[in-house]
Amino acid sequence: MKNKWAALAVACPATLLLSLDLTVLHLALPTLSADLGASSTQVLWIGDIYGFALAGLLVTMGNLGDRIGRRRLLLIGAAAFGAASVITAYAPSAELLIAARALLGVAGATIMPSTLSIVRNVFTEPGERTMAIGIWSGMSAAGFAVGPVVGGLLLEHFWWGSVFLINVPIMALVLIGGFLVLPESRNPHAGRIDLVSVVLSFAGVVGTVYAVKEAAHKGLEHADVLATGAAGIGLLALFVWRQTRLAEPLIDVRLFARRAFTASILTNLLAIFAMSAMMLMFAWYLQLVLGWSPLVAGVAQLPGGLSSAVGGMLATRLIHRIGRNGVVALGLAMNAGAFFYYTTLGTELNYLALLPILMIGGVGVGFAFTVNNDNVLATAPRERAGAAAAVSETAFELGGALGIAVLGTVLTSAYRANLELPAGVPVEAAGESLAGALQTAAALPAEQADRLVQAAHAAFIEGVHLTSYVTAGLLAVVALLALVGLRGVPKVIPEDVLASAHS
């Protein structure tokens, strides 16, 4: 297909924008919550509802694209995403903003698997397919890094709704480009979508992700968190059981019996687990310890995200030298090394020394994401590319939620354990978080405030060190697992070779 690179040029802005939209809101939350008079509960839902709807519907929308056409679903989703962005930008109340963000998530769930499955179907030559998926993966990773920078620039000059209006011209270009260059593809033998499976997958994923997020805020000891998590996992188990009984399942669970498919999904999940933890850790460190503005902090992290795009493009050539398992293991090992370096961070920072470490970690993420995404799509038959892409993206969303919840909890717990409060400082506020300590210090006499800030910074740095050690160790173990789990996967994967080789 002579227009396949044009098709990739349409798919990349769409996936970059979806990743950007997951992070750009965080900077705008304080302003929009004040303007709309949102309660603390409403603020949480404004931040989370997009991710809940997106994660919960990925599997359904991936299958819908296989049935009605991936191009058609992408164009419908792009139009809906643009319209929802306008509603979100001009929402007059917190309730309408929550509803509009939910619609954004629904539209996003149609776009993510559609773009990846279109790439899978138009690039049939193995080497070009891997390169294209590398570029697509790099754009997805870069979106996370670009979000805070774009949000910071817009919020310095415009009102909070501007962070959503930037979606409109980009989605307009996707629509125009999609009509002009994208081919249609679908599963010619797809049956009807099982509605019971749709409900089970949505409720199971949302329940699990919600429980993970709540555990980060409340802790695992709360009964409602445990109950929601158990219900979510139970519904997912029912979903998997039902798929084994259907002639046309939403997910062919037999794919998980293929070593390359399962190993790629798990290593991708753990890679974004670490990446999410790094973004959270650095956002707090750069702003609350070093005192940098949100915009400067976002710019400081940008090279790491952009390096992921570079890693995605380099992965294709590296595969031919050290194999697919070697590239994934190397990428994860590079991230482990970066986290070991983060254990040296203190209350002062030499950014020029940190910069190459951020870039090494970013390139490593690009290595892992590219090869794993290519493995997943090459394992599944082309006619089920949308469903396979949805599984990969769902693991991505779940890994991000787990990373923030688990490693965020490690960071916060270490801070609390190491904090030594000066006499007379209330434990309730200062002992809860670094942000709380800084707010408490603002109301204290200068000398006492200075001692509190120093103690809080020291405790937080201890948390950064512990979190970095835990993450580095986890990544090192996963690198070894990838080296074994992906062993024997061909360097060049022809069409459906894994379906026979690893079934």
Structure tokens at 468: 């970095």
Predicted confidence (pLDDT) per residue in 266-292, tens digit: 888 887 777 777 777 887 888 888 888
pLDDT value for 326: 92
Q: Three-class SS of residue 332?
A: helix
Share of residues in the chain with pLDDT > 70 (%): 89
| Alpha-carbon torsion angle 444, 450, 455, 458, nearest 10 | 140
CA of residue 95 relative to chain centroid, distance: 25
> Which of the four pLDDT bands, split at 50, 70 and 90, describes residue 244?
confident
Q: How far apart are CA 106 and CA 278, in angstroms?
A: 27
CA-based R_g, the chain, Å: 22
pLDDT value for 430: 63
Is residue 57 within 8 Å of 248, Cβ to Cβ? no
- Give the Cβ contact number of residue 501 at 10 Å: 15
The one-letter code for the residue type at 304 is G
pLDDT value for 402: 74
Q: Is the model's pLDDT at 238 over the cut of 70?
A: yes
Is residue 28 within 8 Å of 160, Cβ to Cβ? yes
Give the containing element (helix H, strand E) for 175: helix 167-181
pLDDT value for 255: 73
For 185, residues 6+ apart whose C-beta sits below 8 A from its C-beta are 69, 70, 71, 117, 118, 121, 122, 382, 385
Q: Is the model's pLDDT at 477 over the cut of 70?
A: yes
Is residue 360 within 8 Å of 336, Cβ to Cβ? no
> Which of the four pLDDT bands, split at 50, 70 and 90, describes residue 334?
very high
More confident site: 64 or 43: 64
Q: Is the model's pLDDT at 27 over the cut of 70?
A: no
Give the containing element (helix H, strand E) for 309: helix 294-342
Helix axes 126-157, 351-379, angle to 10 degrees: 130
The pLDDT of 200-206, averaged and rounded, is 85
| Residues of the chain by 3-state class (helix, strand, coil), percent to 5 | 85, 0, 15
Q: How far apart are CA 119 and CA 4, in angstroms?
A: 8
Tell the burial category of 173 from Cβ atoms under 10 Å away from its Cβ (0-12, 13-18, 19+): middle
Structure tokens at 292: 């940098």
Closest among 33, 481, 16, 22 to 270, alpha carbons compared = 481
Closest among 106, 102, 190, 123 to 387, alpha carbons compared = 190
Q: What is the residue-averaged pLDDT of the chain? A: 80
Predicted confidence (pLDDT) per residue in 207-222, tens digit: 887 787 777 666 666 6
pLDDT value for 336: 92
pLDDT value for 229: 81
Predicted confidence (pLDDT) per residue in 391-419, tens digit: 777 777 777 767 777 777 788 788 888 88
Q: Is the model's pLDDT at 500 over the cut of 60?
A: no
Q: How far apart are CA 4 and CA 8, in angstroms?
A: 6
The pLDDT of 488-500, averaged and rounded, is 59
HSE (side-chain half, CA atoms, 13 Å) at 315: 42
